[in-house]
Amino acid sequence: MPGFDNLILNVDNYKHCHYPLYPPGTEYVSSYIESRGGAFPVTMFVGLQAFIREYLMRPITLEDIDEAEFVVREQGMHFNRENWLGILNDYDGFLPVEIEAVPEGTVLPTRNVLVQVINTDPKYYWVTSFFETALLRAVWYPTTIGTVSWLCKQVIKEALARTSDHPELVRSILHDYGARGVSSQESAALGGLAHLVNFSQSDTVPGILAAKKYYNAGHVSNSGPNSEHAGFCAWGRDGEADAMRNMLRTYRDNGVALLLTDTYDHENAVKNIIGRELRDEIRNFPGLVGIRPDSGDVVQVTADTVEWLMDSFGYETNSKGFKVLPPFIRVVQGDGVTFESLPKIYIELERRGLAADNALFGMGGGLLQHWNRDTMNFGQKASAVRVNGEWRAIAKSPTGADFKASKAGRLALKYENGTYTTVPRDSIPPEENQLVPVFRNGKLLKKWDFTELIERSEREVPEWYYEPFVAPLRAAGNGRVAKPLTVSA
């Protein structure tokens, strides 16, 4: 659509009237992005490189300027054509800014600087804040989704540590089913790639493509043959067993088949069709058969289904005393799984003496869509300006909203003794600053590989980063703290 690829129009309209509002003699404006706290105590930073490569490495053209002038003036908003012609002529259309950021994949406490931006030419002091709309959106959304996914991973690790003998399964437990539940394909791409930092399972193809395009990802995700109600309903109620049998035979060589069981009567499908009529065929299937309930109370249905399958296919007892289904069959629960319901499912499984690895999960809108900028109170604020050669530390401090108080001065991120702290830029040697220059005047200065994002996300962190979210599992289990697990990527 016209205008959608035009960076000058990828803004709030009012941004065009801000450049003359700075003091005379303004030369540099420095701003930063942070999560000001909110639902979670930490962030897993991801997504900036995708934005830089998609938008900032594409130069503004004369046609972009003409189009923007027409659209902006049509809205009754001021437009300074000379500003943009200057960028076109002086910098070949690339924004004269430098961006530095935390290495992507890093998990760190909220209220710390994640990104810092400054103009590189005093003539274009206004450009730092001009593209805030697009930049902030490009950071808050994938970072919020990545954080949700990372915290889900900590819950799963805790559940595996408590009741399973297989901590190595952690990256394969939570599948991304969110593509149809988000507001756009770009959301699916950015949220999907953020989830893949933590897990290797996804059906959100835009996320897979984005990880490959922007982060050089290789084999980043797995999926397998799954069923949907259209195909099963087409066989009719009396043909439900035939529909399942057809899928088992069709995908026998693939080694995976996920069977929907709630097309009509979930309990009947599990106990009678799967547990009796198709029992031998499932036992002899060369791979994994997933039993997929898709409705009902997610906590009770998951645990009930595990037990019904054990009645038909038996179980083993692992070293921790919990029951485990035979390796050829698992429950795959993809309905109603959210950040809030996931620990409740594990609590119920443990209460019944069922190991965590009896079930795999898929998360859709609860992963990619049920969040907004206020979830973690993301903001981008100017913190320093240089006017007539003199730097001024600036900050906002509104009454009635203490959390909106911003940081002042040019900033750095310090890491010492396992603790991140945002400090004045000149208070530490440059080599100790954890912020890395990643972009300057149209050039990508640092290119992160997806494997690097995964490695950083899996580094050991203080337990307080995630303890509130695993605490319900420990409380339900009489306070027993699971032995920490070491899991490779």
Can you tell me whether residue 5 is helix, strand or coil? coil
Q: Is 335 annotated as a binding residue?
A: yes
121 is in an annotated binding site: no
Closest CA to 101 of 482, 411, 462, 443: 411
Closest Cα to residue 191, out of 364, 377, 38, 375? 364
Residue 292 is assigned to a ligand binding site: yes
Q: Return the number of other C-beta atoms located less than 10 Å from residue 409's C-beta.
A: 19
Give the residue among 160, 144, 488 at the shortest CA–CA distance from 324.
160
Residue 424 annotated as lining a ligand binding site: no
Closest CA to 155 of 373, 337, 290: 337
CA distance 324 to 304: 14
Q: At what angle do helices 467-476 and 132-163 cross, to 10 degrees?
A: 30
The Cβ of residue 14 has, within 10 Å, a number of other Cβ atoms equal to 11
Dihedral pair phi/psi, residue 111, rounded to 5°: 65, 25
CA nearest neighbour of 127 among 13, 227, 30, 246 = 30
b (16+ CB within 10 A) / e for 293-312 = bbebebbebbbbbbbbbbeb
Does 304 count as an annotated binding residue?
A: no
Q: Known binder of ligand: residue 255?
A: no
Contact status, residue 361 vs residue 387, Cβ threshold 8 Å: no
Residue 90 assigned ligand-binding role? no
Q: Is 59 annotated as a binding residue?
A: no
Q: Summarize the annotated binding site as residue ranges.
A: 180, 203, 229, 292-294, 334-335, 365, 373
Q: Summarize the annotated binding site for beta-nicotinamide D-ribonucleotide as residue ranges.
A: 203, 292-294, 334-335, 365, 373
Q: Summarize the annotated binding site for diphosphate as residue ranges.
A: 180, 229, 292
